[in-house]
Amino acid sequence: MSEEGTPGSDYTRLLVDDKEIILVGTAHISQDSVDTVIRTIGEIMPDTVCVELDQQRYHSLINKKGWESLNLKELIKKKQIPFLLTNLALSSYQKRMGLHTGVKPGAELAAAAQTAEERGMEVELVDRNIRTTLLRVWRKTRFWNKMKVMAALFGSLFEKQELNESELAKLRESDTLSSMLDEMGELLPSVKQILVDERDTYMAYHIRNAPGEKVLAVVGAAHLPGIIKLLQGDEISPEIISEISVIPPKTTLSKMIPWLIPGIVIALFIGGFFFGNRDQLADAATAWVLANGLFSALGALLALGHPLTILSAFVAAPITSLNPTIGAGFVTGLVQTFIAAPTVRDMERVGDDLMTVKGWWQNRLARVLLVFLFSSLGSSIGTFVALGWLKDIF
């Protein structure tokens, strides 16, 4: 096995199992990276070009009208709104940085795939499905670390980050990136392992097994050191790839928690009926309806939901709070979507609008997400308030 170049140069060349593998490390919002990728493909003329994308991200990059096909009602029904929110938070952060360089996030990956296709080369999407990655982070991370992840995502929505091409060049240096990843590993080792280490393994495996004798891979510079190390080591077994491609099941505790509060509430009502003052049952029911309904409706109001959406929050929350299979946000999100459906313009501009606090309330798609989030949060707060009232009544 031989190697030419360093991770800081345009590309790194490896000889692995009689296959020539050329690795290009990029910054995802850099025009220099776009130019480097196109130039290197033309110079190397590989049989196959591998890109750090999965099918979903590839489709969103090349399909400029992808938002037009977004079925918001289906996403709500399938309970994928949190996943959409996370995706928007990540893309909004990258796009905000990209505004200072004039480059769309992931432009170099799209350029790699398009250049390869134009030259008749094979294109391999070698990254793990993003939904699998995010769910593995969520389900393998402890509660307080989840809160840190959520706080970081929320903070990134409003953080002002200005980067020019010279600063991006520094970010592509392996020493700088390694230092950043080390800090991430100390703060949240499980997150770094899933977001970086597992994906390094997944991509290294698929790059190594890509068709052709000469393979060029375009990956983010943060992944370059890990992938090089893996390619220089023993071959990765398919069993390892299968293991890190699985979405972990929910823990027994996480399955029980949604049923725990409804169980307590029902037990209180049953206990009050048999052992307490039955005249207080009406007061208890009123307390439950008012606490859940009012807080959920307040959440919908703060999201500037339609009046009918606010009314649906008040009506639905007391019922959905006792049914773990459906939340208040499910109802309010659907109502808001039917009454004030996002336009094509809202879909297309959502990435730009989410870069400002005002934009969240102006964009109809973002407002549906806020209605879903705030009414759900309000219902949860109302449930705990109601439990306190029920305890006093009984």
Tens-digit pLDDT profile for residues 218-240: 998 888 999 999 999 999 999 99
pLDDT digits (tens, 9 = 90+) for 166-179: 554 554 444 444 44
Maximum pairwise Cα distance, the chain: 85
Shared-domain flag, residues 319 and 179? no
Shared-domain flag, residues 150 and 239? yes
Both structure tokens of 143: 């509660």
From 79-83, 218-222, 293-297, the region with the lowest mean pLDDT:
79-83
Q: Is it the case that residue 375 has pLDDT exceeding 90? A: yes
User: Residue written as tokens 């130019």?
Assistant: 35
Q: Is it the case that residue 368 has pLDDT exceeding 80? A: yes
Mean pLDDT of 377-394: 77
Q: Is it the case that residue 254 has pLDDT exceeding 90? A: no
From 151-155, 163-167, 348-352, the region with the lowest mean pLDDT:
163-167
User: Predicted confidence band at 8 (pLDDT cuts at 50, 70, 90)?
Assistant: very low
From 22-36, 54-68, 200-214, 293-307, the region with the lowest mean pLDDT:
54-68
User: Predicted confidence band at 151 (pLDDT cuts at 50, 70, 90)?
Assistant: low
From 71-85, 91-105, 307-321, the region with the lowest mean pLDDT:
91-105
pLDDT at 176 (0 to 100): 41
Pairwise CA distance, residues 271 & 218, whole Å: 64
Q: Is it the case that residue 181 has pLDDT exceeding 80? A: no
pLDDT digits (tens, 9 = 90+) for 322-333: 877 788 888 999
Pairwise CA distance, residues 33 & 265, whole Å: 57
Pairwise CA distance, residues 22 & 224, whole Å: 11
Q: Is it the case that residue 117 has pLDDT exceeding 70? A: yes
Shared-domain flag, residues 24 and 93? yes
Please identify, among 244, 267, 300, the residue that sits at the C-terminal boundary of a domain. Answer: 244
User: Predicted confidence band at 180 (pLDDT cuts at 50, 70, 90)?
Assistant: very low
Q: Where are the beta strands (DSSP E) in the chain?
A: 3-4, 12-16, 19-26, 48-51, 122-125, 214-220
Shared-domain flag, residues 41 and 176? yes
Pairwise CA distance, residues 385 & 380, whole Å: 9
User: Residue written as tokens 């709500």?
Assistant: 76
pLDDT at 214 (0 to 100): 96
User: Residue written as tokens 């070009």?
Assistant: 49
Q: Is it the case that residue 163 has pLDDT exceeding 50? A: no
Mean pLDDT of 137-145: 76
Both structure tokens of 79: 């309970």
- CA 266 to the chain's CA centroid: 36
Both structure tokens of 64: 């400029």
Both structure tokens of 80: 């994928």
User: Predicted confidence band at 153 (pLDDT cuts at 50, 70, 90)?
Assistant: low
Shared-domain flag, residues 75 and 48? yes
User: Predicted confidence band at 262 (pLDDT cuts at 50, 70, 90)?
Assistant: confident
DSSP string, 208-246: HT-SSSEEEEEEEGGGHHHHHHHHHSSPPPHHHHHHHTS
| Helical ranges in 70-222 per DSSP H | 72-77, 81-98, 107-118, 130-139, 143-158, 165-171, 174-187, 189-192, 198-208
Pairwise CA distance, residues 394 & 381, whole Å: 20
User: Predicted confidence band at 38 (pLDDT cuts at 50, 70, 90)?
Assistant: very high
Shared-domain flag, residues 208 and 270? no
Residue 262, sorted as left (phi over 0), alpha (psi -120 to 50) or beta, turns out to be alpha
pLDDT at 97 (0 to 100): 46
pLDDT at 141 (0 to 100): 75
Helix axes 107-118, 55-62, angle to 10 degrees: 90
Shared-domain flag, residues 66 and 187? yes
Task: Count the Cβ atoms, other than its own, within 10 Å of residue 277.
Answer: 12
Answer whether 217's CB lies under 8 Å from 112's CB. no
Please report how many Cα atoms fall inside a 13 Å half-sphere around the Cα of residue 336, on the Cβ side.
32
- Cβ-based burial of 216 (10 A; exposed 0-12, middle 13-18, buried ≥19): buried
Both structure tokens of 195: 């977001």
Shared-domain flag, residues 86 and 201? yes
* 309 closest CA partner among 274, 334, 290, 292: 334
Shared-domain flag, residues 170 and 31? yes
Shared-domain flag, residues 21 and 160? yes
User: Predicted confidence band at 11 (pLDDT cuts at 50, 70, 90)?
Assistant: confident
Please identify, among 195, 212, 244, the residue that sits at the C-terminal boundary of a domain. Answer: 244
Higher local confidence (pLDDT), 86 or 197: 197
CA angle 226, 228, 232 (to 5 degrees): 120
Strands 19-26, 214-220: pairing kind: parallel
Shared-domain flag, residues 309 and 165? no
pLDDT digits (tens, 9 = 90+) for 341-366: 887 677 767 767 776 778 878 888 88
Its domain, for residue 227, covers 3-244
Shared-domain flag, residues 236 and 272? no
Higher local confidence (pLDDT), 133 or 208: 208
pLDDT at 32 (0 to 100): 82
Specify the number of domains making up the chain. Answer: 2
Mean pLDDT of 192-220: 93
Please identify, among 213, 244, 275, the residue that sits at the C-terminal boundary of a domain. Answer: 244
Pairwise CA distance, residues 234 & 236, whole Å: 6
Between the alpha carbon of residue 53 and those of residues 125, 179, 364, 367, 370, the distances in Å are 5, 24, 29, 29, 29
